[in-house]
Amino acid sequence: MSDAAPWWSVLAAPALLVALALLAVAADGVLSARAAGRPFALSAVARPLLEVPRLLVAQPRRLPAPDMPLWRIGVVTVPVAAVLSVMVVPFGPFAVSGLSVGLVWFNAMEVLTWAGLWLAGWGPNAAFSLVGGYRYLAQGLAYELPLMFALMTPGIGAQSLRVGDIAAAQGGLWFAVWMPVAFAVHLWSVLAFGFTGPFAYPAGGDIAGGVFGETSGPERLLLSAGRWLWLAAGSAMAVPLFLGGGAGPWLPGWAWSLVKTVAVLALLVWARGRLPMIRADRYMEVAWVVLLPLSVLQALVPALVVL
Amino acid sequence: MEVALFWVLAVAALAGGALVFRVASMARATFALLAALICVGGELVLLGLPYLGVVVVLMMVMEMVIMVVFMVAYMMNPGGLMPMSMLHNKRGALVISAGVFLALAAGILLVPWPAPAVVLPADTTFQLGESLMGGQMLTMMTLGFVLLSTMVGATALVSRRGRYDRYGDDLDRRPADDPAGGGVGR
């Protein structure tokens, strides 16, 4: 069971998530500087972060007849859903909300990204943006079902939908050890709902940036923040689900949670730069013909063990 | 506090539902409907059914996002740049909706409500699971198979290509001749 967290955790959790996202951006800057053969320097860390003030003061661009309300709602939904999703993720022994159906809550918030990105593609009244929005839906249909089973598997193992209970149920053995398929599918899908790395298809260069194509200024900042916030939120969720939460020797629980989250995040940031982009139609078949049966079989393992 | 939230969500749900028929754009109509359904999910959480409430939000977001694809594809004037009405068969619709409203309202008044439980159940999610996988298991299993076979059947009926198109007359062509190549390369 997770303890009731103090009231200021409502503010601390988003701040921590933003800090993790900034860390991921900085790490990505260093990795891409190294890939480009530039010497390591502080500027490699600072360069992507300098985008923040630049975008805040940038002049917004508009096409004729944009659907402004829907566009704004879409752009705001992506980062806000990411922040809301971590409200149920325990940090050491504390969670902002010990919601009894936390697992489903995380899933619901992640699905809100579908709506957000489609709206972000629809809003600007531009063909390539809209193609990007549709691409995310195609990709979503492919990755969502294996992910749902991957999220469900630790829930079955712990016999609870409360994320704190799932973390506490791994006293003997981490779920990552005996649910490796679910763990791998979860990590893989974090890249998908972060629409990054192999899943950057909705924002692909072949459609001039897709959902990012017509965004500028603060809207672009929010949408790219959403991408990194989701990467951090997915990493944070992997820790209580598969890596034993805050359990570990010597250090206090919150420190272990932080260490594990940063380790997962580092793996994902490294992977996103190493993997090529996959088209949604190709990934669809991989997801439904290979990953989905594997995830169902993986969910069967804890079901049999628990029974 | 909870009563106030209940009313806020109720009014917002009704407003979203009404908005569906006021806007001309298919995208706006769909997401107005989604807003109404999310409010309904919130009401379910308030009623002490957190699982059902959150699942309604989860499923409705996915459904409405898929629906908006079809709304934009099939309806005239998807972007709402020209005035159009979402109201069709006004007289018939008015009769049907008034009838349904009266029947439901009569149901509220006529059904003998159970006495309020003295002790609230500890975990409604558990109760729901027990009911679905216990007494109602046959219903749920039948429903699941009917839904699945409907989906598979509908897809098979609309698909113009069969296995002979893919694998050749003797079913021995490898890899299959598909208009769009999949990732597994079958």
Residue A202, C-beta contacts closer than 8 angstroms, at least 6 positions apart = A117, A121, A132, A133, A135, A136, A139, A195, A210, A211
Q: Give yes or no for residue A151 having a pLDDT over 80.
A: yes
Q: What is the pLDDT of residue B149?
A: 96
Q: Which tokens hold the place of A107?
A: 């899933």
- Range 12-31 of B in CB contact (< 8 A) with A: 25, 27-28, 31
> Which helix (H) or strand (E) element contains residue A95?
strand A94-95
Is the CB of A114 inside 8 Å of chain B's CB atoms? yes
> Which helix (H) or strand (E) element contains residue A4?
strand A3-4
Amino acid at position A3, single letter: D
Is the CB of A283 inside 8 Å of chain B's CB atoms? yes
**Which of A21-35, B23-37, B74-88 has the highest average model confidence (pLDDT)?**
B23-37
Q: How large is the average pLDDT for residues B156-179?
A: 83
| Contact residues on chain B for A155, CB-CB shorter than 8 A | none
Q: Which residue in the set B61, B183, B184 is minimally distant from A111, CB to CB?
A: B61
| Stronger pLDDT, A153 or B123, i.e. the higher one | A153
- Digit-coded pLDDT (tens) for A191-211: 999 898 888 888 888 888 888
Query: What's the rounded Cα separation, in Å, for the pair B144 and B134?
Result: 15
Q: What is the pLDDT of residue A1?
A: 41
Q: How far is B45 from chain A (nearest CA, A)?
A: 11
Query: What's the rounded Cα separation, in Å, for the pair A198 and A148?
Result: 20
Q: Which tokens hold the place of A186?
A: 């979860």
DSSP state, residue A210: G
Give me the total of CB pairs closer than 8 Å, taking one residue from chain A and one from chain B. 80
Banded model confidence at residue B48, pLDDT cuts 50, 70, 90: confident
Kindly identify which residue of chain A lies nearest to residue B66, measuring between CA atoms: A137
Q: Which tokens hold the place of A52?
A: 């923040």
Q: How large is the average pLDDT for residues A243-252?
A: 80
Q: What angle do CA A130, A133, A138 make, to 5 degrees?
A: 125
Q: What is the pLDDT of residue B26?
A: 84
> What 3-state DSSP class applies to A278?
coil
Report CB contact under 8 Å: A289, B54.
no
Residue A307, C-beta contacts closer than 8 angstroms, at least 6 positions apart = none
Q: What is the CA radius of gyration of chain B?
A: 23
In percent, the amount of chain A with pLDDT more than 90 equals 34
Q: What is the pLDDT of residue B143?
A: 93
- Residue A4 pairs in a beta bridge with A95
Is the CB of A159 inside 8 Å of chain B's CB atoms? no
Is the CB of B48 inside 8 Å of chain A's CB atoms? no
| Stronger pLDDT, A5 or A137, i.e. the higher one | A137
Query: What's the rounded Cα separation, in Å, for the pair B120 and B141?
Result: 29
Report CB contact under 8 Å: A67, B183.
no
Q: What is the pLDDT of residue A4?
A: 61
Q: C-alpha distances in angstroms, A67 versus A64, A209, B76, B162?
A: 10, 19, 17, 42
Q: What is the pLDDT of residue B185?
A: 63
In percent, the amount of chain B with pLDDT more than 70 equals 90
Q: Give yes or no for residue B24 having a pLDDT over 80.
A: no
ipTM computed for the complex: 0.86
Report CB contact under 8 Å: A144, B62.
yes
Is the CB of B68 inside 8 Å of chain A's CB atoms? yes
Q: What is the pLDDT of residue A135?
A: 92
Q: Give yes or no for residue B94 having a pLDDT over 80.
A: yes
- A94-95/A3-4 β-pairing: parallel
Report CB contact under 8 Å: A67, B79.
yes
- Digit-coded pLDDT (tens) for A28-56: 888 888 888 877 777 777 777 888 888 88
Count the helices and strands in chain B (H runs, E runs).
7, 0
Report CB contact under 8 Å: B27, A70.
yes
Is the CB of A286 inside 8 Å of chain B's CB atoms? yes
Q: What is the pLDDT of residue B64?
A: 93
In percent, the amount of chain A with pLDDT more than 70 equals 98
Query: What's the rounded Cα separation, in Å, for the pair B118 and B113?
Result: 14
Q: Give yes or no for residue A84 having a pLDDT over 50.
A: yes
Kindly identify which residue of chain A lies nearest to residue B41, measuring between CA atoms: A108
Q: Which residue in the set B58, B61, B123 is minimally distant from A104, CB to CB?
A: B58
Is the CB of A297 inside 8 Å of chain B's CB atoms? no
Q: What's chain A's average pLDDT?
A: 87
| Stronger pLDDT, A175 or A95, i.e. the higher one | A175
Report CB contact under 8 Å: B58, A108.
yes
Structural domain boundaries, residue A288: 3-306
Q: Give yes or no for residue A156 having a pLDDT over 80.
A: yes
> What 3-state DSSP class applies to A91?
strand
Q: Which tokens hold the place of A173?
A: 């053995």
Q: How large is the average pLDDT for residues B61-83?
A: 81
Q: What's chain B's average pLDDT?
A: 86
Q: How large is the average pLDDT for residues A224-247?
A: 90
Looking at the structure of chain A, the number of domains it has is: 1
Banded model confidence at residue B61, pLDDT cuts 50, 70, 90: very high
Q: What is the pLDDT of residue A65?
A: 81
Amino acid at position B43, single letter: E
Banded model confidence at residue B183, pLDDT cuts 50, 70, 90: low
Lowest mean pLDDT among A44-58, B22-36, B85-99: A44-58
| Stronger pLDDT, A56 or A92, i.e. the higher one | A56
Q: What is the pLDDT of residue B71?
A: 84
Q: How far is B100 from chain A (nearest CA, A)?
A: 31
Is the CB of B39 inside 8 Å of chain A's CB atoms? no
Q: How large is the average pLDDT for residues A116-137?
A: 90
Report CB contact under 8 Å: A282, B57.
no
Banded model confidence at residue B33, pLDDT cuts 50, 70, 90: very high
Kindly identify which residue of chain B lies nearest to residue A134, measuring between CA atoms: B69
- Residue A254 pairs in a beta bridge with none
Kindly report the length of chain B.
Answer: 186
